[in-house]
Each structure stands twice: as C-alpha cells, then as structure tokens.
A and B are shown apart, each in its own frame.
Chain A
Amino acid sequence: MDGVAQLQKQLVDYTASLFQEGFLDEQFNQLQQLQDESNPDFVVEVVSLFFEDSERLLNELAKALELKTIDFRKVDAHVHQFKGSSSSIGAQRVQKVCIAFRNYCEEQNIEGCLKCLQQVKHEYSLVKSKLETLFKIEKQLIAAGGSIPT
C-alpha cells in the first residue's frame, strides 16, 4: 500500500473506531458533510470553537461548584450550554455526562454535581485528544497529496 492509501485507511479506521466507541455520533458526520471546497476547514473551525468554549465552561463550572453557597441554576445554565455545544459537534459521551449532570443540578445534589464535573472533564479531554489525533492524520494525508475520503 502506498503512503496515501495507508494514511487514508488509517483515517477511515480511526474515525470508525471513534464512532464505535461512542466518542462521536451522527452529528459529526453532518459536520463533515458541510465541509467542501468553499469551506475546506469547516470541521476544524467548529471543533476549535468547541474546544475554546468547553474550556471556558469547565472553568466556570469549577468556580461555581467551589462556592460556599452553590447557585444550582447557574451551574445548570453552564451545563446546558455544554450539552448544547457537545451535541452540535457530535461529542456523544460528553453530551451524555451533561444530561446526568443536569439531573443532579435539578436535585441540588452537590456530590452528584462534583462527580459529574470530574466525569465531564475526563470525557472532554478524551474526545479532545481523539479529535486532535484525527485532525493530525488528516493533515498528514493532505501533506502526502491525498484527499479526505467522503
């Protein structure tokens, strides 16, 4: 197999594994379909926005849950945003934790919220690293003269 074909296979296999392991869902496919010659970096752009936004939200959540008196409505508002943005890019496992997180907010369950904060941080860092790897392979493929299979 030549270099390009090998990278293409690597990309296809890696992407498939992310779907199989539930890191990504169908919405990520939708994003990829919106990428074309006029919008060649669409996926990377949206995902980069997601990374920035997520880091901000995680900081806000950590601060909000450190307070002596926790404002659960505020915590819930942040989680709602995080749930929305993760859903928009297809980050399924992050989204699932956010759903559980919101339930704990509704119950005003501090322990539950703190647990979910740890979980969501974990899931977020996993999907971030996976997506960064994905983009790296894509870059290598393009540098080798190949194109991203649709």
Chain B
Amino acid sequence: MEYLHSDIADHTQQREKLQHFHVLAVDDSLIERKLLERLLRESSCKVTCVDSGDKALEYLGLLDSQEIDRSTASSFCPQSSTQEGLKTVNLIMTDYSMPGMSGYDLLKRVKGSSRKDIPVVVMSSENVPSRISMCMEEGAEEFLLKPVQLSDLKKQLQPHLLKLPVHPKIDMTTSNDNGNGSMIIDITMNNNQNVVVSKRKTMTPEPLERRPQMKGLAVI
C-alpha cells in the first residue's frame, strides 16, 4: 500500500495494526453468526465470532483469571496483540438475548473494564423501547434490530472505518463539491494513538481526484 506519505514510515507498526478493522461478533445462534460474519466481511472487516458472553470476555482478556495472569498469557497470536498480550478489537457486536450472560450483561462488563473504549453495538430481534434505552444508557454505541441489513451495517461502520488510515476501498470524495475547491486530507495521530483522517476543502482551483491528495500531512 503506497498511498501513505513516507513521513509516516516510522508508524508502520501502528498502520499495520489498524489496517484491518476487527469486529468481535457475539451470538449464541450459529445461523446469526454466519450471517453477521458474511455481512462484516462484505463490509471489509476482519471478524472473530464467539458463541457466548463468557467467550467474548475471555477473548478480550477480561475474565478474572486472565486479568491476574496477564503477564503469562500469550498463547494467542502475539503479532496481533497490543502490549500486555491483549488482542486488538475495534468493535463488539453482540446479540441481546443469549442464555447465561446476556448482551446487556456483556455490555456492562466491557464498559466497566479496562477495555471500555471498545464501542459495543447491541442487536435484538425484539423492538422493546425500555430495552433499547437501558442499553444506550449503559454505553452501547447503537442498538440494531435483527435481521441486520448490509446497509445498516455499512452506515454503522462508516465513521469507524474513516478513522483508519486511507484505504483504497473507502471513497473519500463528496457529492457536494461544486468544483471550486479541492479536498485536502490531513492524517494525524491523536492522543489515543489512533490515526485520524480528516477532510477539509480549500478554495484553490485544483482538480478533484478520486483518490485523496496527500497534502498537509501532520504527524503529531
């Protein structure tokens, strides 16, 4: 991928880590997991599916036993881990109604943990307003009704994917450009070590290209 300016070469490791938006999908139904996995891969995401809240917590390294053993637990792929042996997860999508730990319970556990910054989307086949507000109040990013459509998912993922380094599949052009200006893409690193891609228009009469122009790179 040659699209990043050489100034960013030092941050290659960060870039490689962020190149695949990783979704952890949690659902006790095999059919639902298969569907969700297909939908997510269609949306250019990397997917890991688990069949319970407990397995999700285990994957996230949030089981009590894991939090104690953090230093010794590295039997999973080390190259896909952040420091402390934790796996990178950019989004959790969980079913609400599951036997044992519900999606709501999982949401609470995640939001009360060291991994509370991972956005959690809750899905349910039932449209129960009190359930929805309960989840939103607990910090869910979104509540989706099942069956989840590809269009819902793409809408959901778009703001997240925009935070990743420029990817050929992402269309960075806007439809409201009247041709008087051009798109400048700023790629910066924020305090959370996330690469943030932002667009701004200038009034210079340069041709608008389909690929973003690499001007104004500022790496903090």
Contact = CB atoms under 8 A, between A and B. Distances in A.
Interface of A: 27, 30-31, 33-34, 39, 42, 45-46, 49-50, 53, 77, 80-81, 83-85, 87-89
Contacts of B35: 31, 34, 46, 88
Interface string B37-81: 011001000000000000000000000000000000000000000
Contact of A84 (B125, B149, B150): B125
> What's the dominant secondary structure at chain B's contact region?
helix
B39 A49 contact: no
B150 A89 contact: no
Contacts of B29: 53, 81, 84-85, 88
A88 B95 CA distance: 13
A30 B150 contact: yes
Given A83-B125, A85-B31, 13 more contacts: A30-B150, A34-B35, A46-B31, A46-B34, A49-B30, A49-B31, A53-B31, A84-B29, A84-B31, A84-B146, A87-B125, A87-B146, A88-B31
A83 B150 CA distance: 20
B147 A49 contact: no
Greatest chain B CB density within 10 A among A30, A45, A77 is at A30
A17 to B, nearest CB: 23
Contact of A49 (B34, B125, B149): B34
A80 B150 contact: no
B125 A34 contact: no
B147 A87 contact: yes
A108 B146 CA distance: 26
Interface of B: 29-32, 34-35, 38-39, 42, 97, 99, 125, 146-147, 149-150
A42 B42 CA distance: 13
A113 to B, nearest CB: 20
Contacts of B38: 34, 39, 42
A73 B35 CA distance: 27
A22 B1 CA distance: 48
Nearest to B42: A34
Contacts of A81: 29
Nearest to B124: A84
B97 A80 contact: yes
A46 B97 CA distance: 21
Given A50-B31, A85-B29, A88-B32, A33 B146 contact: no
A76 to B, nearest CB: 11
B147 A88 contact: yes
Contact of B150 (A34, A50, A85): A34
A89 B31 contact: yes
B96 to A, nearest CB: 11
A77 B38 CA distance: 26
Contact of B39 (A34, A77, A80, A84): A34
A98 B150 CA distance: 25
